[in-house]
């Protein structure tokens, strides 16, 4: 937070300003992992409660005889997730379906923050002394890694639940390379352990980087489109053409971005189900 706010002098400063998060300790380096991004935390938390409130309200008011259009829409989402879980996950855990539903809807809501005008919430925030505000939580690598590591950790716990702690540990050090003799099994223990660590690590990284990379790129494109408005110098042909280009480009990208927002949430959900399914299967 800061009492003084300086308007960006050029396009570079404008983009740099929008790429900085609201940090708990502004004195620390922006990339310091010990610093908490307050905007990412609070916006994702609020959207999580929005998800719980809306789905809870629909569940309480659900009608079998005369369902509302919104109820049918929510049921369509639930059925979509449930059908994917039944096809991919063959374990006995009742946690995977609710997890997949939560992941899908929550990520969609966080991604959809990109549809707000890029300067709207940051401008409002400056009125309350908040200098920096990034409104798309999924464009923050901290949020992406937190969600992906949570999924990987849960898959490990599901594997332990399905196979037992001993069974999970034995499989961890005897796959993917199998051997018949005791000596070869002992020799392959460090190799299998290293491969398993790499596999679990790559799952978390790929899950996070795919989501964050796409949303960060989309956010950056919206910033570049917004920069077209900085060239306004009055009611002259050049400025009018620039403003028209901003409207056309912004509308076209927003329509295309709808697919990205939904697709990235769907991929995150599907990979969550797949990783949980792999955890309970014998290898």
DSSP state, 23? B
The SS3 assignment for 64 reads coil
Q: Which residues have CB under 8 Å from 23's CB, separation 6+?
A: 30, 35, 36, 37, 38, 132
Can you tell me the distance from the alpha carbon of 75 to that of 55, in angstroms, rounded to the nearest whole number? Answer: 10
Cα-trace Rg, the chain: 23
Task: Tell me if residue 83 is catalytic.
Answer: no
Active site residue 206: yes
Is 149 within 8 Å of 155 (Cβ atoms)?
Answer: no
User: CA neighbours within 13 Å on the CB side: how many for 96?
Assistant: 30
Point out the catalytic residue in the list 206, 236, 239, 251.
206
Contacts of 132 (CB under 8 A, 6+ apart): 17, 20, 21, 22, 23, 39, 122
Q: Is 66 helix (H, G, I), strand (E, B) or coil?
A: coil
Phi, psi of 180 (to 5 degrees): -90, -50
Choice among 84, 155, 192, 214 that is catalytic: 214
Q: Given the residues 93, 150, 210, 239, select the one marked as catalytic.
A: 210
How far is Cα 105 from Cα 48, in angstroms, rounded to an integer? 9
Q: Report CA 53 to chain centroid distance, whole Å.
A: 20
Q: Which residues pair with 37 in a beta bridge?
A: 23
Is 236 tagged catalytic? no
- Find the Cα–Cα–Cα–Cα dihedral 211, 215, 220, 223, rounded to 10°: -170
Strand partners for 23 = 37
* Residues carrying an active site annotation: 206, 210, 214
């Amino acid at each position: 937070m800061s009492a003084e706010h300086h308007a960006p002098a050029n396009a570079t400063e404008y983009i740099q300003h929008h790429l900085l998060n609201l940090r708990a300790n502004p004195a620390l380096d922006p990339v310091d992992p010990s610093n908490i991004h307050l905007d990412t935390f609070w916006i994702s938390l609020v959207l999580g409660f929005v998800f719980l409130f809306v789905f809870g309200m629909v569940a309480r008011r659900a009608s079998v005889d005369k369902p509302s259009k919104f109820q049918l829409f929510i049921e369509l989402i639930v059925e979509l997730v449930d059908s994917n879980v039944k096809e991919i996950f063959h374990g006995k855990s009742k946690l995977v379906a609710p997890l997949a539903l939560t992941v899908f809807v929550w990520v969609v809501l966080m991604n959809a923050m990109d549809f707000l005008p890029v300067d709207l919430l940051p401008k409002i925030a400056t009125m309350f002394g908040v200098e920096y505000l990034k409104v798309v939580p999924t464009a923050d690598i901290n949020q992406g890694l937190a969600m992906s590591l949570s999924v990987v950790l849960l898959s490990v716990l599901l594997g332990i639940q399905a196979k037992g702690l001993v069974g999970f540990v034995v499989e961890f050090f005897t796959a993917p390379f199998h051997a018949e003799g005791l000596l070869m099994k002992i020799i392959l223990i460090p190799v299998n352990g290293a491969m398993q660590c790499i596999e679990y690590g790559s799952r978390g990284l790929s899950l996070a980087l795919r989501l964050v990379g796409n949303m960060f790129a989309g956010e950056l494109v919206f910033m570049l489109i917004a920069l077209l408005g900085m060239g306004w110098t009055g009611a002259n042909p050049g400025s009018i053409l620039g403003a028209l280009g901003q409207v056309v480009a912004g509308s076209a990208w927003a329509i295309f971005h709808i697919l990205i927002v939904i697709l990235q949430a769907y991929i995150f959900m599907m990979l969550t189900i797949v990783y949980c399914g792999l955890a309970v299967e014998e290898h």
